[in-house]
Structure 1
Amino acid sequence: MSIHIGVGGWTYEPWRGTFYPPKHPQKRELDYAGQHLTAIEINGTYYGSQKPESFANWAAAVPDGFKFSVKASRFCTNRKQLAEGAASIEKFLTQGLTRLGDRLGPILWQFMATKTFDRDDFARFLDLLPESQDGLPLRHALEVRNESFRDPAFVDLARERNMAIVVADSDEFPCIDEATADFSYARLQRSRDDVATGYDEAALDHWAARAKAWAAGGRDAYLFFIAGAKVRNPAAAQALIARLGA
């Protein structure tokens, strides 16, 4: 099983001179990130559609084995009745993201903290998520942010469909740590500005052990340092990669 570690996006001005070398060409930042991380979560797709050529160019910029997760459009998930999102889901999935080819990792479906669990509506929504697109297998990760999802019925829905529940390391959102798919997906949101590596050594050791355990249990693992002290997130990802010797 494989372990992929990265951050959200690759364009962030405070990373210039901290993660990216001084005067590194901005147009080559993804190339650099691809050499020093093993995954990136694409967040721009949450706000709007991208061009098929953009996905193809991103795939070409990173080495073999690198993975992009793709954050689903907010128009799919930020709605009163999730089951009514078929058209938005189709638009999102047909924008060209399969041009990532074998660099495509999981699709991240993020729900607002105000979204509460309605079993029937949520089940109908999950049934709209296909197992493949353009002949390319899809994996789906579900990031819920409301305590009402601490419900065995939600866990069962995810497990029945081989969809991962995102493990949130957060002071703000609940952590539902259940094995429901053949991969695991963690979003680590507690990086600190006063720690050079964002997470201290004990926390990095903890997540390294978790990643190894997921892989040893037969699951691919995806871990992304998101939010928190964002300027520290690339350093946190590199420190975790170093601990895993990958």
Structure 2
Amino acid sequence: MEFGKVDPADLDKIDFKLPPDHADTIAILAKAKKVNTQIYIGCAKWGRKDWVGKLYPPKTKEADFLVHYAKHFNCIELNATFYRMPTPVQIKIWKSKVGKDFKFCPKFVDQITHLRRLKNVKEITDQFLEAIYEFGENLGPIFLMPHPQMGPKALDTLQAFIESLPEEVELFTEFRHPEWFSNQQAFDQVYDVLKKQKSGAIITDASGRRDCVHMRLSTPEAFIRFVGNGLHPTDYTRINDWVQRMKQWKDQGIQRIWFFMHQHEELHSPELCRYLIPEINKHCGTNIKGINFIDDQNLFN
């Protein structure tokens, strides 16, 4: 993931402190129905050959990567559906490789978001939804990333697309155009659309785009994309801050948290998850299954 990448020499100059929660976040959580908070932790992909011998047993075949991935994580940010339109047959195969509690969070295919930029996409959107509905109880929220050039001027297009989706679709949208965050009125407007549709805005924590850490929830759920920097020391202090914020949200009544680990080079995402999960369990009173490497060394130290 290249989004928000900076020169490693500049990392110690960045203020990584999480901003305070937006007033809307506080209000949303105050009104939320009190339930036991569910926390999902995952990566962006399972098809990493360099995880064989570390996360997956030696000589694991690619066809079995997902089986072993699902033994460690309870969800996946499914970027594969961005690059190729999924088919019902493919979805059924993926579903067959995981347990009943595992969640797939598929990303809208690029034909919808980037090639057509959300215009004249009803037929292809229906095709996409028909496929991912095959996940059944394994379907988590769908991830919408409009083309990064789609800023506030595209609000009407974005609103029309979101409002066209079936009511049962759980949606989170990632905003990348800088004007969404520099233009307060624009973000207020799109936030109102999301709130009305009971969908959320993704919080992306990347080094070079601190504006995307907006801390504004429109539902009693959070979808976080954390982008680390190759196990730099700041990766761990940032995770510590996120654990404390998740604890705060849990105490305030958040219902679900989706936390997806990224690196600019995804090789080391499991190491950060291996650090993150015990910290969440310790501070949030959860019992999320930890990550076990084949070589039982403390590789994140």
**So what's the TM-score if we normalise by structure 1?**
0.87
For each residue in 1:114-138, what CA deviation from the matched residue of structure 2 results, as whole angstroms up to 9, or x when unmatched? 2212332221121122222xxxxx2
Q: Is the aligned partner of 1:153 residue 2:194?
A: no
Given that 1:187 and 1:224 are in contact with CA atoms closer than 8 Å, whether structure 2 keeps it comes out as yes
Partner AA of 2:230 in structure 1:
R
Q: Name the structure 2 match of 1:191.
A: 229
Cα distance in 2 for residues equivalent to 1:130 and 1:221 = 23
Q: Which runs of structure 2 are paired with 1:3-152 in the superposition (5 Å)?
A: 3-79=39-115, 82-94=118-130, 96-117=131-152, 118-132=154-168, 138-150=169-181, 151-152=187-188
Shift of 1:211: 2.9
Given that 2:231 and 2:272 are in contact with CA atoms closer than 8 Å, whether structure 1 keeps it comes out as no
Partner AA of 2:113 in structure 1:
T
SS of structure 1 residue aligned to 2:71: helix
Shift of 1:230: 0.9
Q: Name the structure 2 match of 1:222.
A: 258
Which residue of 208, 211, 215 maps to 2:243?
A: 208
Given that 2:40 and 2:259 are in contact with CA atoms closer than 8 Å, whether structure 1 keeps it comes out as yes
**So what's the TM-score if we normalise by structure 2?**
0.72
Which residue of 196, 219, 225 maps to 1:181?
A: 219
Decide which structure has the larger Cα Rg and report it: 2
SS of structure 2 residue aligned to 1:224: strand
Gaps in structure 2 of 5+ consecutive residues: 1-36, 182-186, 282-287, 289-301
Partner AA of 1:142 in structure 2:
T
Cα distance in 2 for residues equivalent to 1:80 and 1:24 = 38
Given that 1:39 and 1:67 are in contact with CA atoms closer than 8 Å, whether structure 2 keeps it comes out as yes
SS of structure 2 residue aligned to 1:23: coil
Cα distance in 2 for residues equivalent to 1:41 and 1:30 = 13
Q: Name the structure 2 match of 1:166.
A: 202
Cα distance in 1 for residues equivalent to 2:126 and 2:247 = 35
Given that 1:193 and 1:231 are in contact with CA atoms closer than 8 Å, whether structure 2 keeps it comes out as no
Share of identical aligned residues, percent?
Answer: 22
SS of structure 1 residue aligned to 2:228: coil
Cα distance in 2 for residues equivalent to 1:66 and 1:215 = 21
Partner AA of 1:121 in structure 2:
T
Given that 1:72 and 1:110 are in contact with CA atoms closer than 8 Å, whether structure 2 keeps it comes out as yes
CA RMSD in angstroms comes to: 2.1
Shift of 1:97: 1.1
Shift of 1:81: 5.5
SS of structure 1 residue aligned to 2:164: coil
Shift of 1:86: 2.0
Given that 2:70 and 2:102 are in contact with CA atoms closer than 8 Å, whether structure 1 keeps it comes out as yes
Gaps in structure 1 of 5+ consecutive residues: 133-137
For each residue in 1:66-93, what CA deviation from the matched residue of structure 2 results, as whole angstroms up to 9, or x when unmatched? 2110011112112566343222221211
Partner AA of 2:150 in structure 1:
K
Cα distance in 1 for residues equivalent to 2:249 and 2:165 = 24
Shift of 1:193: 4.4
Cα distance in 2 for residues equivalent to 1:60 and 1:242 = 28
Larger RCO: 1 or 2 (CA < 8 Å, sep 6+): 2
Greater CA deviation, 41-50 or 4-13?
41-50
Given that 1:42 and 1:70 are in contact with CA atoms closer than 8 Å, whether structure 2 keeps it comes out as yes
Cα distance in 2 for residues equivalent to 1:35 and 1:212 = 25
